[in-house]
Amino acid sequence: MFEKSAYQKSVPIEEEWSEETVVVQAGRPERVPTAPMNTPITLSSTYIHPALIGYARDGNEVWAALEIALGELDGGYAISFASGLAAASAIAELIPASGTLVLPRASYYGVKNIFDILSKRGQVKLRFVDGGNTEEVIANIPGADMVWMESIANPTLVVADIPAIAAAAKANGTISVADATFATPMRQHPIALGADIVLHSATKAIGGHLDLLLGIVVCKSKEHAAVIDSYRHDRGATPGSLEAYLALRGLRTLSIRIDKSEESALELSKRLKAHPKVKAVYYPGLEGDSQYAIAQKVLPKGAGSMVSFEIDASPTKVDEMLGNLKLIAHTTSLGGVASSIERRTRWPAEEAAGVPMTLCRFSVGIENVEDIWRDLKSVLG
């Protein structure tokens, strides 16, 4: 594994700096005369000998800058990938051949799909659990090689009890993984809560502008990081340097974007809950939500920008309503500056059984909250 510091010298991070400062400063080039403020994008597949990075699959300065920043925020060794799913595939490499994985039944469909494929090939055995039932998750850990958590879960917004599950995993010699895409590095640090591995789809809030695909794995141990890093090199799951640059540029404003989106998400979840056409609202930051107590423990700063809710209408009618929105984009994906919404079971083959038919996954952007509400109200009636 490359020591990133060998080819990417970056500004030192002061111990007393808050995360709001670290997210802006970490991974910037060392401040020496003539140094640029940002690591330049290098578009070259190969380099003249002798070179530390010989071929573009070996490493890239902008990946290193992004990884230094995310490693600093999450307290581990970060490795960037072509997408969140490429990053999840790399994590699967830590499970020994025919090993056992404990996986929430309602995990993000793409992650579940990776493990279904591996399971069909006999490469992994799966123990499905209810990710929101901590006792059930813990009861399934003995003898397992890895336990997967999603905090906060997509699209059910169930919050995993990372400290309890990670502690049980540690006691059993099981690797614990937390997909923290919804929480973002501004709201949760799974490694500090006891997890071994963190996954972020930077396609979502880290990138934040709906213009790239990128995934991040952060490892507590150098040994795990070496395996993940080799996987990227050997299987070629590398990010583009332009994408890495954009993800890092997005990361710089994550702190203020999440503050704004989250404030609106809380307000909108309250208004949705009071609306007669809305059957149910799922937002872990909302008092009275089934996940509120656990969220207070593992997401003390706030519950982020994602809200799910069910509309009291037929699925066809709900799709029609979402199609009539003018401000909120009727589209998949999430975490952008622009609000977006999707009825998840419009993908019946992909979305987990048990996700309600009219559940709308709503990604709250940074637009004016009253404008967003007016748009929602105009279609809800």
Ligand X SMILES: *Cc1c(COP(=O)(O)O)cnc(C)c1O
Binding site for ligand X (CB under 6 A): 83-85, 108, 110-111, 150, 154, 179, 181, 201, 203-204, 213, 215
Burial (0-12, 13-18, 19+ Cβ within 10 Å), 77: buried
Least CB distance to ligand X at residue 333 (A)? 7
Pick the catalytic residue from 187, 204, 344, 361.
204
Q: Which is nearer to ligand X, 28 or 200 (CB)?
A: 200
- The angle formed by the CA atoms of residues 118, 121 and 122, to the nearest 5 degrees, is 90
Q: Which is nearer to ligand X, 29 or 110 (CB)?
A: 110
Q: Which is nearer to ligand X, 155 or 194 (CB)?
A: 155
Q: What is the DSSP letter of 161?
A: -
Cα separation, 42 vs 53, in Å, equals 12
Length of the chain: 381
Widest distance between CA atoms in the chain: 69
Pick the catalytic residue from 4, 28, 74, 108.
108
Q: How far is CA 336 from CA 73, 123, 149, 258, 366, in A?
A: 20, 36, 23, 10, 8
Least CB distance to ligand X at residue 247 (A)? 10
Q: Has 57 been annotated as catalytic?
A: yes
Q: Which is nearer to ligand X, 134 or 154 (CB)?
A: 154
Q: Which is nearer to ligand X, 53 or 302 (CB)?
A: 302
Give the residue among 90, 79, 91 at the shortest CA–CA distance from 196: 91
Amino acid at 85: L
Least CB distance to ligand X at residue 261 (A)? 15
Cα separation, 372 vs 136, in Å, equals 39
Contact (Cβ atoms closer than 8 angstroms) between residue 291 and residue 223: no
Q: What is the DSSP letter of 344?
A: G
Q: Which is nearer to ligand X, 160 or 379 (CB)?
A: 160
Least CB distance to ligand X at residue 182 (A)? 6
Cα separation, 210 vs 71, in Å, equals 23
Pick the catalytic residue from 161, 179, 196, 289.
179
CB-CB neighbours of 46 under 10 Å:
12
Least CB distance to ligand X at residue 212 (A)? 9
Pick the catalytic residue from 7, 9, 47, 57.
57
**DSSP of 225-271, one letter per residue?**
HHHHHHHHHHHT-PPPHHHHHHHHHHHTTHHHHHHHHHHHHHHHHHH
Q: Which two tokens stand for residue 49?
A: 């000998």
Least CB distance to ligand X at residue 120 (A)? 20
The residue sitting closest to ligand X, measured at its beta carbon, is: 84
Contact (Cβ atoms closer than 8 angstroms) between residue 324 and residue 379: yes
Q: Has 108 been annotated as catalytic?
A: yes
Provide the annotated active-site residues.
57, 108, 179, 204
